[in-house]
Chains A and B, each alone.
Chain A
Amino acid sequence: MSEDFNENKTIQAQSSETISGGETGVAPDIDYVRPAELSDQDLYHGHTFITKWVFCQDAKVIGVQYFLLATFTGIIGLILSWLMRLQLGFPGAAGFMTAEHYYQFVTMHGMIMVVYFLTALFLGGFGNYLIPLMTGARDMVFPYVNMVSFWMFFVAVGVLLASFFVPGGPTGSGWTLYPPQAILEGTPGSGMGIILMCVSLILFVAGFTMGGLNYLITILQARTRGMTLMRMPLTVWGIFTATVLAMLAFPALLVSALMMTLDKVLATSFFMPTILKAGEVLEYGGGTPILFQHLFWFFGHPEVYIVALPAFGIVSDLISVHSRKNIFGYRMMVWAIVVIGALSFFVWAHHMYVSGMHPWFGFFFATTTLIIAVPTAMKVYNWILTLWRGNIRMNTVMLWCLGFIVTFVNGGITGIFLGNVTVDVPLSDTYFVVAHFHMVMGIAPLMVIMGAVYHWFPLVAGRMLSEKLGKWHFWITFLGAYSIYFPMHYLGFIGVPRRYFEMYDSPYITSAVGMNEFISTAAFIVGAAQFILIYNIVVSLKMGKPAGKNPWQANSLEWLTPSVPPEHGNWGDKLPVVYRWPYDFSVPGAKEDFIPQTTPPSEVVETEVEKT
């Protein structure tokens, strides 16, 4: 590697940010790092069971709490998807399932998976656990607010799940909750169901805002000595940018949920046009349903990247560690994350091509949408170039990363199809769309979550997960996910519409019957395979191989805590000092193939490290 590319791009081991260059004529100390700007963080240490494990202010515990609750909610979403697939593959097999139930399950599955599972897991779970550890902070900057954030999320999930038990059941208007149908009689759950959904979303946004402020300020203002922005792991960059998006996109969701609640409860007509129902004019009139679509998708499209950017960041770190090579084009990766985040605010109307818009409007949004493919493709190339001629460890974590790249490219390419107005219009509301977004923002981020669980479980629990079970889990999930979603593209092309309870005897759909049976069977198997992971976690917690310190030989700070798993306060008496980026793998001349971020330059003078 190095002989191909080493054109004076490496320097003697030095810390660029921190050298105090020749002020007095004395040889500068190459290990010099500016003193701390802030005094040590004041922390509340819990003493009782309640303050240590329930109402806990330690970001690590809060992260695990988020993780567990999001996973619990995700399993409910998984069970709902099973019920849907049962109906689609084998109509009538579940005797209790009516069309109303089906719509309710579709809606709740979508909302749970996007907001309460993926968003909460990436930002609440991984964000809380990893941000303070990776940036070298003792904890989040506002631990109390952080705790409240989790319990707001808890209440939000409670309100959401309560809607299963109210008269009329949960809302069945599709996860996009489009008015007018969402709140009109005839739509399942148009009474208490939709109200609880809106209330739950408002609570979620409020809770998330508290957490999000913590993530941002911790990253901006509480890094340890030597931790410059361009030495942060890409995981932190991904979570940071996603949190910025969330802080700016969730307001639109909050406002639309509030206005929808008022339309329902007070019979205002924000989103409700004049409606004739069975020959009678309803009390509504003069509102504009399109406004809701704009508000919803102004949230909804950045939401895709709120899920995707942390996944991008995490997978970059996993690939780098497990192929023992520095991430290819680190700065390019950072800027790609930031640019994707910024562009995501200018593409929302590509979800609305069929709701009727001026052609130039569609042209604008198609253009911005396709521009996003540029930084995204750069990231994919960089992942592949990181792998290229790396010392790849073919372990479970790496398998999930490779699975991610494949599914992400797959889902990304169908995204280019759908970004074009002329291609999108005929494919709109078909299974092609379902296949596209499940590939790109369902399966792909999920692969990263799985990889991240196998990667960081040793840090959280101090024990390794079983590799054997992990590989079974991966291969069943990967092949199964392709068996589910690949045929769906074809279903879309032959015109099978999404959100239909049953296809009945439509002549052109009959050819899809066998395929639907196949997809459903695969879905049952893939869903069941996820319990391998749960079994693996439960068993490994007690019986797994002890992990010891830094089992993956990673460089980033979270593996360098004095005790594993890290304790409250993370770093014992002294905060770590950072001298380099976290990607110094396989450095020519180094004793080992990794140089942790805390290794001072004086210890590696003979090596050719990158200047970071």
Chain B
Amino acid sequence: MSSDPKIEGYKFKPGYSGMAADTASDQTMFKGVHWGKAMMWIFLLSDTFIFSCFLISYMKGRASTPVEWPNPSEVFALNAFGVPVPLLLIAIMTFVLITSSGTMALAVKYGYERNRKMCGWLIIATALGGLTFVGMQVFEWSKLIHEGVRPWENPFGAAQFGSFFFMITGFHGTHVSIGVIFLFIYAYKTFAGHYDEGKRGWFTTMKGDYVEIEILGLYWHFVDLVWVFIFAFFYLW
């Protein structure tokens, strides 16, 4: 199983019926797609359903609570030079996370080019971006907790505000944190040359390959994309 399997003797057929025939053909449905990549896509589909359930529950909960929902642009405002700026911290957080998606994409590119150093440093940069994001989230959480926001109550309005906020951003933050841990492990493996030599993994005993970085990249981009939705539904609504 290598990162670019040969598809010897297979000619893609034209038209819709050809597409159906290609899909239903023997051996693989997605020609040339690495097992791990296909797995990550399907996992992300499942994870999308998890986050959708969270966000739909949030909409339903927000719509049906009898108490007024807190005003997000006031609750999430940050004082900069004595002026309350709405969504300042969130804007920075979002910017950092989106930027880390960019460095991740570059890491994948340099990985496939076998540029071990660049690839490793870009993974480190991505991990640091993620770490910064989680750090700012910790700051935001502690600020809100200081202001009296709890999962079960808050001084600004409906109790469900805190419940959904901590649950959903916490669940997303857990995703980011897991991603950061893996990024550091993969950075180590890149610098140590495990992907160049195909060194076998400690747990899985499978040979290392640069495609793993792309698979982790898929996860990372997904986590960023989910953040955009959380941002839109939580902070802008």
Q: Residues of A with Cβ closer than 8 Å to B?
A: 17-18, 20, 33-39, 41-42, 44, 141-142, 144-145, 209, 212-213, 216-217, 220-231, 247-248, 250-252, 254-256, 258-259, 262, 266-270, 283, 285-288, 291, 294-295, 298, 578
Contacts and interface: CB of A to CB of B under 8 A. Distances in A.
Contact of A38 (B28, B38, B160): B28
For B26, B159, B163, the residue with the greatest tally of chain A CB atoms inside 10 Å of its CB is B26
B60 A291 contact: yes
A216 B31 CA distance: 15
Given A221-B35, A262-B167, A270-B160, A283 B26 contact: no
Contacts of B65: 286-288
Contacts of B207: 42
Contact of A252 (B28, B45, B53, B151): B53
Contact of A286 (B10, B151, B160): B160
B26 A228 contact: yes
B35 A288 contact: no
For A220, A221, A283, A286, the residue with the greatest tally of chain B CB atoms inside 10 Å of its CB is A221
Interface string B28-61: 1111110110110011011101101110010011
Contact of B5 (A37, A226, A255): A37
Contacts of A42: 1, 206-207
B24 interface: yes
Nearest to B58: A270
Nearest to B207: A42
B45 A270 contact: no
B26 A255 contact: no
Given A217-B35, A255-B50, A283 B152 contact: yes
Contacts of B167: 258-259, 262, 268
A259 B45 CA distance: 21
Contacts of B23: 229
Nearest to A220: B29
Contacts of B206: 42, 144
A20 B57 CA distance: 54
Contact of A144 (B32, B49, B66, B203): B203
For A39, A217, A225, A231, the residue with the greatest tally of chain B CB atoms inside 10 Å of its CB is A217
B37 to A, nearest CB: 10
**Which 4 residue pairs of A and B lie closest in terms of their CB atoms, listed nearest first?**
A251-B49, A268-B163, A255-B53, A229-B24
Given A36-B27, A37-B28, A286-B159, 20 more contacts: A33-B26, A42-B1, A44-B205, A213-B39, A216-B42, A221-B28, A221-B30, A223-B26, A223-B28, A225-B27, A226-B26, A227-B26, A229-B24, A229-B29, A252-B53, A259-B57, A267-B152, A269-B163, A270-B57, A294-B60
Nearest to A141: B35
A221 B38 contact: yes
10 contacts: A37-B10, A38-B5, A144-B203, A144-B204, A217-B38, A226-B26, A227-B27, A248-B46, A270-B61, A291-B61
Interface in B169-225: 203-207
Contact of B66 (A18, A224, A270, A286): A286
B158 interface: yes
B146 interface: no
B132 interface: no
B39 A141 contact: yes
Interface in B50-81: 50, 52-54, 57, 60-61, 64-67
A338 to B, nearest CB: 12
A396 B152 CA distance: 58
B64 A220 contact: no
Contacts of B52: 251
Contacts of B39: 141-142, 213, 216-217
Contact of A41 (B1, B42, B64): B1
Nearest to A250: B46
A248 B43 CA distance: 10
A434 B82 CA distance: 65
Contacts of A20: 9
A266 B152 contact: yes
A270 B49 contact: no
A295 B58 CA distance: 12
Contacts of A285: 159
Given A225-B27, A291-B57, A254 B160 contact: no
Contact of B27 (A38, A251, A259, A294): A38
Contacts of B67: 286
A225 B81 CA distance: 68
A216 B45 CA distance: 13
Contacts of A33: 26
Interface string B143-172: 000000001100000111011100100000
A141 B1 CA distance: 10
B88 to A, nearest CB: 28
Contacts of B158: 286
A42 B2 CA distance: 11
B28 A220 contact: yes
B60 A288 contact: yes
Contacts of B115: none
B25 interface: yes
Nearest to A246: B46
A256 B53 CA distance: 9
Nearest to A32: B9
B92 to A, nearest CB: 29
A217 B42 contact: yes
Nearest to A298: B53
Interface string B1-21: 110011111100000000000
B23 to A, nearest CB: 7
A268 B151 contact: yes
Contact of B25 (A17, A213, A250, A287): A17
B59 to A, nearest CB: 10
Contacts of A226: 26
